[in-house]
Amino acid sequence: MIDLTGKSALVTGGARGSGRAIVIRLASQGADVAFSYRGNAEAAAATAGEVEALGRRALAIQGDVKDPETAEAIVKATLEAFGKVDILVNNAGITRDDLIMRMSVEAWREVLETNLFGAFYMTKAVTRPMLRARGGRIVNITSVSGQAGQTGQANYSAAKAGLIGLTKATARELASRGITANAVAPGFVDTELTRDLPEALKEQIRAATPLARFGTTDEVASAVAFLASDEAAYITGQILAVDGGLVMM
């Protein structure tokens, strides 16, 4: 049983989807959880309410991680509320899909700034307090798109591949202080976005996945909780695929 009692966690993009599942899972296993959200205050309030219903402290912080000053403010607010950040989960991400020849510079830049730069800004902001504490867990949410590439997702695939490199560099830099950095690489997960896919495409995805189904946000959250726990103390610089066998490396 993973026990996060006494830990404080910070999850970016935690109001909905996989981020919400991660927030709830960490709280259910004993952690107080702060999370950032961009604009959906109603969803953020609902997620915070679920955390508090589990008997844990919750802190919902509005802010866009692609702004470095905002990232620092999110970490500062968490430190003021909880006194420490034991766990950082870089989950915030967006998509702006298009073929390369049609992709706008703005769509390229916005995805890289949110999905990759944002993770860097958040990691940079928690590094000092984690170094002082001589411990911490950083978990980045990458994707099969970052491992294998995806048609129509040059920006997203590049950002998620960059996140893998950031994870490994972070792991090397911070290991001497007992801080681990790992990533979870989900495959196709049942969310609001994938539910809108054409049924024919869903069947193609299932056919290409050895376990022949979509994953769930709870399955992604379980992997994050493991990497955030003491059970994973000797694991760092690793990419844990939660993809039903879609990408085997």
Active site residues: 156
Task: Tell me if 18 sits within 8 A of 30, measured CB to CB.
Answer: no
Cα–Cα distances in angstroms (integers) from residue 220 to residues 71, 111, 226, in the given order: 24, 21, 10
Secondary structure (3-state) at 38: coil
User: Residue 73, by phi and psi: left (phi above 0), alpha (psi -120 to 50) or beta?
Assistant: alpha
Residue type, 190: D
Task: Tell me if 61 sits within 8 A of 12, measured CB to CB.
Answer: no
Angle at 21 between CA 116 and CA 114, to 5 degrees: 15
User: For the chain, how many residues are written?
Assistant: 249
Instruction: Return d(Cα 79, Cα 88) in angstroms, integer.
Output: 12
